[in-house]
Amino acid sequence: MRRLFRTFLGAMLLTTAGAALAEDGMAISFPETRREALVESKFGEQVADPYRWLENDVRSDSEVADWVQRQNRVTQDYLARLPERAWFAQRIRQLLDYERFGLPVKAGKAYFYTRNSGLQNQAQLFVRQGLDGAPRLLIDPNGWAKDGATALDAWEPAHDGSLLAYSVQDGGSDWRTIRVLDVATGKVLADEIKWAKFTGIAWIGSTGFLYSRFPEPQAGQAFQQLNRNQEVRFHRIGTPQSADELVYATPEQPDLGHFAQVTHDQRWALITTSRGTDNRFELHVIPLGKRGAKGKGWAAQPLVKGLDHDWRLIEGMGDTLWFVTNKDAPRLKVVATNLKQPERGFVDVIREREETLERAQIVGNQLILNYLKDAASMAEMVSLDGSRVQTIALNAIGTASGFTGQPGDPETFYSFSSFNQPSAVYRYDSSNGKTVPFALPKLGFKPDDYAIEQRFYTSKDGTRVPLFLVRKRETAAVGRAVPTLLYGYGGFDISLTPAFSAARMAWLEAGGAFALANLRGGGEYGKEWHDAGRLHNKQNVFDDFIAAGEYLIAEGITPKGGLTIQGGSNGGLLVGAVVNQRPDLFAAASPAVGVMDMLRFDRFTAGRYWVDDYGYPDKEADFRVLRAYSPYHNIQAGRDYPAVLVTTADTDDRVVPGHSFKYTAALQAAALGPKPRLIRIETRAGHGAGKPTDKAVAENADVLAFLAHWSGLKVPQP
């Protein structure tokens, strides 16, 4: 179906190098990039890929490593000269310097939670015996690496609180190493699990836990090899990983992934199976009894066949399991099933309603329900039969998360945050509906100085799209147009909700506005909203984002020439696509860790999962759609482009950095006007998770200084 050929004119290698740029008085010259005459014939179309060699791993290819070093030298030299950078670096650091707590997890009489004193590179894990007990430091990852880039990722205590399993993330990679410690002594045990990825930790008593892993990659391929043949295994404490028992696998279908959970009463293990990123799952249950403890085998019984619908386990009590599902309910509902009466199937407990159900949890003898109404959180408490509704007051536009707990225990914790409110943690008693603070942040700014609005605008096809807008109150009151940072994502059923960011607050303090567009492709309005922005509907996402920018200008929120855009991962793809489609609309753009080559994304690491949202590059109908918007393939030479700062990281094994490398090389090679097209490549960092504070501050300062410089945002003077 496709024919690959290379054409070389003798031994000549083509190179590209940008001319000096000086529109802002800061001369810059792009590094040379070797260009190959490589062309593929795909469905009758000739597709050039001159920078494919930049897909090679920077660790093993010296030419790629040299290209990275040369690009970083040019970029860092330019960014260091930006007059706005020093202020952003200082102010972001100041805004981050406050005590931050994670949500407590209760196990036995112990409470486990994370805490960052302010500017620590990584949060520490603490434990208390009793809610009012003295905090005791259990894990401090800040000593694990000199550069702070080795992070504590997931952690899960055994149900009695005696042991704790935790995963370690190094250099931002998606690979995890799982270790175990004795909570009483703090001693790390000899147990070590490698090659875990996209995994939970599900304890069975305190004898061991279920986890998901992939086969060990081929030598030198850990950061690029496709992820296939995921298994669920049981690790028994005190034994080597080689002795771990196979619980569930599908070698005949290597593209399936598997995730394990265990009900609090230890009666059932649930295996959730998926093929891609879509929330379409098969379910198998395993009656535990004493099987996990004695190794008598793992008899998985089918519960839901066919990868057709979303099924999220809430909890199990006895033989009854509760789920959130979108089967016959695009905005989701709560159902229950009795495993001893399979003929009854699933019974509705909470029917679908206008708001989108985000999650549900059993706490005590109540259901706590989290809903999204126009992308803002609301929470309710109901009885297990769905009656007796009580609203949990949140009192502001924001995001509530957490509400984890267990049957029989009325205590739960949740956090609440907004654009002008860092995350605060609250304890909620479901038996009486009372809420008390657990940890409140001490702020270095006045939240009331900032106005949060939710607006709605009309996209190209008439669709009504929500948008959050944040500005200084004085700016909003007089209606002054100011440089604006517009952020979007629009994919994978992911909802963007109000949240605090020290970097965004620095932008606001400098006098800018921030806008968050809830584009189609996300999950803000359930399955229909997601479907309207994926596959052959993907152009709707770009149209929504472009319409948001046009709205901000038309409404006088930002001046023409003052609109900047930012997005990460799928949002990086978004930024790359809309810059190609409407380069005249934006002053500056920053696509982060983006999917930029839509014709080869499925060939690396987790890329094969994304076909649910993007389609298959080797299917002609999908290829036509992907080819039409792929950022790498649609750069419009001869048009003036905004200033572009691409960001990525050398250890990103989610969206491999080759995407950003190739896209940047193509930008720099094209005649796109006098503004810079640069790339910032972080070392020992990945897709975002686990990034140390020092690296995060430096990156955000660079990006915001660049966007401010090209949009005319003037930072405060000392």
pLDDT tens-digit readout, 466-478: 999 999 999 999 9
Q: Are 466 and 456 in contact (CB under 8 A)?
A: yes
Long-range contacts of 379-388 (CB under 8 A, 24+ apart): 379/403, 379/414, 381/430, 381/433, 382/350, 384/349, 385/349, 386/334, 386/348, 386/349, 386/350, 386/351
CA distance 31 to 46: 28
pLDDT score recorded for residue 291:
61
Q: Of these residues, 569, 630, 660, 711, which one is catalytic?
A: 569
For the chain, residues with pLDDT lower than 50 are 1-22, 292-293, 295
Q: What is the DSSP letter of 103?
A: P
- Give me the helices (H) in 417-498, please: 473-478
pLDDT score recorded for residue 15:
40
Q: Of these residues, 274, 687, 709, 711, which one is catalytic?
A: 687
Strand 301-309: give its sheet, edge to edge: 257-262, 268-274, 281-287, 301-309
pLDDT score recorded for residue 390:
84
Residues ≥6 apart with Cβ < 8 Å to 4: 40, 41
Active site residue 569: yes
Angle between helix 570-581 and helix 539-554 axes, rounded to 10 deg: 70
Task: Tell which CATH classification among 2.130.10.120, 3.90.550.10, 2.30.40.10, 3.30.70.890 matches the domain 109-158+160-263+266-317.
Answer: 2.130.10.120
Q: Are 428 and 384 in contact (CB under 8 A)?
A: no
pLDDT score recorded for residue 4:
27
Report strand pairing: 588-592 vs 643-649.
Answer: parallel
Structure token digits, residue 654: 């989610």
278 class by beta-carbon count within 10 Å (0-12 exposed, 13-18 middle, 19+ buried)? buried
Identify the CATH class of 445-711. Answer: alpha beta
pLDDT in tens, 604-621: 999 999 999 999 999 999
How many Å is the Cα radius of gyration of the chain? 26
| Domain spans of the chain, in order of start | 109-158+160-263+266-317, 445-711
pLDDT score recorded for residue 612:
96
pLDDT score recorded for residue 8:
26
pLDDT score recorded for residue 290:
59
pLDDT score recorded for residue 26:
77
